[in-house]
Structure 1
């Protein structure tokens, strides 16, 4: 069984203080995909750089306290890639890919456009840039799982207050249509939704820090694992973990009936 967990940390140092490592050690996961490190390599302590029993890889943003993605892998990958070939977003540390034989696992952090119109335009640029790259991955013949904070709630059941957010970043019509294109035209599978097609409040992975959103479970489903059809069909169990809080996001765990291999094995 292959277990993959994705989690936006909202700061690796903050999540560390809240006990994310002891929790992670108990999960028996093969790969952790992390987003929003908010740290440079020089900020990472020895234990962050080498968590017990895990191989750690990071792509930090050039800007301090901003963005960044990571991978913790129980097996050492055959290859790790940290560049999209786009200068603007490579500087922001938004992509990290590990290859294990014929399987690629990606940690991706799509920009949020909620802070300003300027950042919303950056988000649209990222969406335009990443779409063909995801299409190329889909067409490569490899099995691929992209774990991301997409910063988009796709459907009305993916957030509590959908009516009031129709004109807000994260639920704009053009953002939702972009996700629909990924699924219908580009052929990606939303693994959680395939397993739980009608799940509502139990599917949320992010809660605002305002207005008691967590206490009232006024959440959004922003964190997805999108996969190529072959590996998506191997998914057997998916759940959002809410018993502890390490961040304003919750971890999404998905188990696949798949044996992780390295060294170019079939």
Structure 2
């Protein structure tokens, strides 16, 4: 089973740049998209409904905020939207599709780069989401959380990390969140389960220049429950096309959902 996660930074812009044409060619089973910057009613045209996929959206209540989506070739047993706290639900930052064996979620943790207030909201979101991760471990099924965490986990996940230790996205508190998730709680970083190399980024600011120099950060993840570790077979980051500043993260899993 192939799962893709992608931060579109505006789904209309990404579509103009050929994202959906590329998506269909990938033969993926589930595609999780973040930062739509559009409402579901604006996405009712054929270009946003490729043949063979069921699309599900969770809108932000205000324009200019996130909005997330899941496209799937398999009809889910259930769709869940939101996590029960305002910062997530009002800004459309979480949607989950439940299949027979696995639940797949599209998640967008806010950035804290704009201001101190933005960083406080990010940390509030992360605190709530950590609680959700702990509750998830009590459930008798496996999960894949796909999306933009807006945090580089370790030094190898960020260029020029030594000058970014006081910048949102690599703060000690943010890295502690990642360490708890992948350490104490036992969740799996699907990409790092296969690819251990340095400078494997999913986000490059300033488009061409940063991509050419490979100056960026690994901000996008597929985080799985521990039982799925043995199912992770192949991983890659698509870098050839520029649908947004983020590159789609592709993971192949062994078995059915």
For Structure 1 versus Structure 2, the TM-score category normalised by the shorter chain is over 0.9
Residue in 2 that maps onto 1:249: 246
CA contact (8 A) 2:207 2:245 kept: no
Inter-partner Cα distance in structure 2 for 1:182 and 1:65: 29
Aligned residue in 2 for 1:234: 231
**TM-score normalised to structure 2 length:** 0.97
CA distance in 1, matches of 2:86, 2:167: 28
- The equivalent residue for 2:198 is 200
Give the distance between the partners of 1:76 and 1:222, measured in 2 at CA.
29
CA RMSD of aligned residues (A): 1.3
| Contact 2:207 2:242 survives alignment (8 Å) | no
The TM-score, its normalising length taken from structure 1, stands at: 0.94
What is the SS of the residue equivalent to 2:206?
coil
Residues of 2 paired with 1:83 and 1:153: CA distance? 24
Alignment correspondent of 2:107: 108
> Is the CA contact 2:157–2:198 (under 8 Å) kept in the aligned structure 1?
yes
- CA–CA distance in 1 between the matches of 2:207 and 2:105? 31
Deviation at 1:230, TM superposition (A): 1.4
Q: Would you identify which runs of 4 or more consecutive aligned residues in structure 1 move more than 3 Å? A: none
Aligned length: 257
On the 8 A contact 2:157/2:201 being kept in 1, the answer is yes
Matches within 5 A, 1:182-193: 182-193=181-192
- Which residue does 1:181 correspond to in 2? 180
Aligned to 2:9: 10
1:141-168 deviation line (CA, Å, top 9, x unaligned):
2110100100000000001110110000
Distance 2:219 2:137 in 1: 21
In 1, Cα distance between equivalents of 2:108 and 2:46: 23
Q: Which of 225, 238, 245 is 2:222 aligned to?
A: 225
Shift of 1:214: 2.0
> Structure 2: 5+ residue runs without aligned partners?
none
Q: 1:40–1:65: 8 Å Cα contact kept in structure 2?
A: no
CA distance in 2, matches of 1:50, 1:215: 33
Spell out the pairing of 1:28-177 with structure 2 (5 A cutoff).
28-47=27-46, 50-177=49-176
Counterpart in the other structure of 2:211 = 214
Unaligned runs of 5+ in 1: 261-266
TM-aligned CA distance change 1:210 to 1:99, over 3 Å: closer
Question: CA contact under 8 A between 1:6 and 1:251: conserved in structure 2?
Answer: yes
